[in-house]
Amino acid sequence: MVKHNNVIPNIHCKKKWHDSTRGPLKVKLSLNKASKKKSRRLTRAAKAAAIAPRPLQLLRPIVRAQTQKYSSKVRLGRGFTLAEVKAAGLTAAYARTVGIAVDHRRSNRSAESLDANVARLNEYKSKLVVFPKRRGTVKAGDSSKEETKAATQLLGAVMPLSKPADEIVMEDVTAELKANSAFTQMRVARQETKIDGYRISVINRKKKD
């Protein structure tokens, strides 16, 4: 039995581990994880070989994570907005053919995000190598023969996010920094905010008089 003031054991070891027991099998075993991992890797390699020298992944935009808690972090989004594609001088139909992900449901909520992703698209366009549809027939917008010959397949994410440096920047303490008092500034600002309404009422009273 249980000693002292503890919970009385009441466990239920009645899961259906075997098909021979009554009822359907309740426990599902996943003993094929290693083989599934290998098959996924082989599938990716076969797809990369089939579409070579085109990259395996698409170009994704830089977006902010959702909610106020995580909005300070940036990550790769689903696709570029129609406004971003248009500002970069492309159409949505053409962008999808050159490895750019387009999301017609997403919208820009700030000019900063629009400018950042337009710059990302322009950088991608400068590095892009477009093969002609027909061999030997180079049209406007296609890359030269030298560029197509030197093209190699990009493995992994296209233009991944660069992590900021973790180094701490040391700054010299000047006389101006020593003379500045953050506590005094906060106290004065708090007092100014406190009497701001009183000052406005005095000015309005003088105007009436």
The reported pLDDT for the residue numbered 8 is: 87
| Residue-wise pLDDT tens digits, 8-27 | 888 877 766 776 666 666 67
Q: Between the CA atoms of 123, 127, 128 and 129, what dihedral angle is there, to the nearest 10 degrees?
A: 170
What are the tens digits of pLDDT across the range 88-145?
A: 999 999 999 999 999 999 999 999 999 999 999 999 999 999 888 877 777 877 888 8
User: Do the beta carbons of residue 61 and residue 84 sit within 8 Å?
Assistant: yes
Mean pLDDT of the chain: 90
User: Average pLDDT, stretch 142-165?
Assistant: 87
Digit-coded pLDDT (tens) for 45-95? 999 999 989 999 999 999 999 999 999 999 999 999 999 999 999 999 999
The confidence score (pLDDT) of residue 20 equals 67
177/173 Cα distance (integer angstroms): 6
From the list 71, 124, 68, the residue with the least C-alpha distance to 95 is: 124
